[in-house]
Amino acid sequence: MHKDIREILFTEDEIAERVAQIGGELTDKYSKLVAEGESVVLVCVLRGAAIFMADLARATEVPMEMDYMAVSSYGSGAKSSGVVRIVKDLTASIEGKHVIVAEDILDTGLTLQFLIENLQTRNPASVEVVSLLRKNVKGQAPIRCLQIGFECPDEFIVGYGLDYAERYRNLPYIGVLRPEVYR
Ligand code: PRP
């Protein structure tokens, strides 16, 4: 275990198992639509969700486009301000397509709230959200998710895409950062 990690919450194997399950659920849900000629696009919210998206795409057995968006919250605080700006938009149109948004973590929910509303204005056939983690916090925006990987405590969590000051994203597991690292 990395010296800056206090505790591993989800091991590499546990994550792989859960991602495989979620991929199976997506395969079940979207196979028929694709067979009927509909299009599916998996949207990654950069940068945290990149690793999750890459694994989830390979665990899902339906043909799909993969596209990427990057958003940024205004404000310098550690918590989202709720004012979200698109830093990088999708490359292709999602009109008439079934969109699956892959997120790494749902915290205040404000990022996803913005994203879902924004994507809905582009006339997709549907928009669903899959979040690897959902933090157990009060006042979280009510986001309807098709699948949640794991519920997690309100701690400073890093690894498998999640960072602190751009570090730890490449840890293969999800762990709690030692407080002395960020204090
Ligand atoms: C994180 C995470 C989500 C968002 C969740 O992104 O990847 O997109 O915060 O927080 P919320 O539910 O409170 O809105 P971050 O802004 O840290 O960027 P990153 O993905 O590049 O790490």
Q: Which whole number is the average pLDDT over 23-32?
A: 98
Task: Decide whether any atom of ligand 1 lies within 6 Å of the 128 Cβ.
Answer: no
| pLDDT at residue 158, rounded to an integer | 97
Q: Which whole number is the average pLDDT over 31-50?
A: 97
Mean pLDDT, the chain, integer: 95
- Which atom of ligand 1 is least distant from the CA of 107? 12
- Please tell me what DSSP assigns to residue 175: E
Query: Ligand 1, atom 8: nearest CA belongs to which residue?
Result: 111
Task: Decide whether any atom of ligand 1 lies within 6 Å of the 113 Cβ.
Answer: no
Is 91 a residue whose pLDDT tops 90? yes
CATH 1.10.760.10 fits 13-152, yes or no: no
The model's confidence at residue 83, banded by pLDDT at 50, 70 and 90, is confident
| pLDDT at residue 72, rounded to an integer | 87
- Which atom of ligand 1 is least distant from the CA of 80? 13
CA–CA dist 124, 120 (Å, integer): 6
Is 38 a residue whose pLDDT tops 90? yes
Is 138 a residue whose pLDDT tops 60? yes
The model's confidence at residue 42, banded by pLDDT at 50, 70 and 90, is very high
8 backbone dihedrals φ, ψ, rounded to 5°? -90, 125
The model's confidence at residue 53, banded by pLDDT at 50, 70 and 90, is very high
Task: Decide whether any atom of ligand 1 lies within 6 Å of the 108 Cβ.
Answer: yes
- Which of 43, 83, 105 to mutate to test ligand 1, by most ligand atoms within 8 A of the CB atom? 105
Catalytic residue among 55, 67, 104, 107: 107
Ligand 1 mean position, distance from CA 105 (Å): 7
CA–CA dist 170, 183 (Å, integer): 22
Q: Would you list the domain boundaries of the chain? A: 13-152
Long-range contacts of range 152-155, CB-CB < 8 Å, 24 or more positions apart?
152/9, 152/105, 153/9
| pLDDT at residue 77, rounded to an integer | 56
Is 78 a residue whose pLDDT tops 80? no
Annotation says 107 is catalytic? yes
Contact yes or no for 56/83 (Cβ under 8 A): no
Task: Decide whether any atom of ligand 1 lies within 6 Å of the 159 Cβ.
Answer: no
| pLDDT at residue 79, rounded to an integer | 60
Is 74 a residue whose pLDDT tops 80? no
Q: Which whole number is the average pLDDT over 151-175?
A: 96
Residue 154's identity, in one-letter code, is D
Task: Decide whether any atom of ligand 1 lies within 6 Å of the 52 Cβ.
Answer: no
Long-range contacts of range 82-91, CB-CB < 8 Å, 24 or more positions apart?
82/108, 82/110, 82/114, 84/110, 84/111, 84/114, 84/115, 86/118, 88/46, 90/43, 91/67
Across 4-18, 66-80, 127-141, 162-176, least confident range: 66-80
Is 80 a residue whose pLDDT tops 80? no
Buried b (16+ CB within 10 A) or exposed e, 31-70: eeebeeeebbbbbbbeebbbbbbbbbbebbebebeebbbe
Contact yes or no for 100/146 (Cβ under 8 A): yes
The model's confidence at residue 165, banded by pLDDT at 50, 70 and 90, is very high
Task: Decide whether any atom of ligand 1 lies within 6 Å of the 39 Cβ.
Answer: no
Q: For residue 99, what are its two tokens?
A: 């969109």
| pLDDT at residue 87, rounded to an integer | 94
Rounded to 10 deg, the angle between the 12-35 and 50-59 helix axes is 60
**Helix %, strand %, coil % of the chain (to 5):** 25, 35, 40
- Which atom of ligand 1 is least distant from the CA of 141? 12
